[in-house]
Amino acid sequence: MDIDVRGPRFGAAATTVVLVVALVTQSAWVLAWQTLAFALGATGGVGRSPYGLLFRTLVRPRLGPPTEFEAPEPPRFAQAVGLLFAGLGLVGFTVGPAWLGLAATGAALAAAFLNAAFGYCLGCEMFLLLKRVTVRAE
């Protein structure tokens, strides 16, 4: 079943805010929260992430009905990519090196911002590219 495109974009906006806070404060705790949010989105789908639940219960009822939908697989893959980068950032902030925490968190922030501000999901594009490559290889 396809999902409302506004949900993942809302999640990307919330993720952007959390990652800015994590990057500015270099807080492993803040980044741990975001890592958990990515893990829930990657395993259960974006609708089961904390930001997806927030969107569904508080934001979507105040909006009109959705006009655009997308397959859930690309955003779910994007959550897994975010999990990878947040996990690397968490390692950097907790055991070092600090530059790893900054670089990985910054990369996740850049991707989240692109989705929130422009609707361009890097992880989704990676998923679609990998799908095309695997189809051609078969």
Q: How many residues does the chain have?
A: 138
Is 15:117 a contact under the CB 8 Å cutoff?
Answer: no
Q: How far is the CA of 117 from the CAs of 9, 16, 67, 107, 109, in angstroms?
A: 8, 10, 19, 15, 12
Segment 48-103, tens digit of pLDDT: 999 999 999 999 999 999 999 999 999 999 999 999 999 999 999 999 999 999 99
Residue 134 has pLDDT above 90, yes or no: no
User: Phi/psi of residue 96, each to 5°?
Assistant: 95, 170
pTM: 0.94
DSSP strand pairing (3-4 vs 69-70): antiparallel
Task: Tell me which residue of 94, 55, 76, 86 sits closest to 1, measured CA to CA.
Answer: 76
Burial, 52: exposed, middle or buried (Cβ in 10 Å; 0-12, 13-18, 19+)? buried
- pLDDT, residue 135, reads 80
- Calculate the CA dihedral of residues 83, 36, 106, 121 and round it to 10 degrees: 60
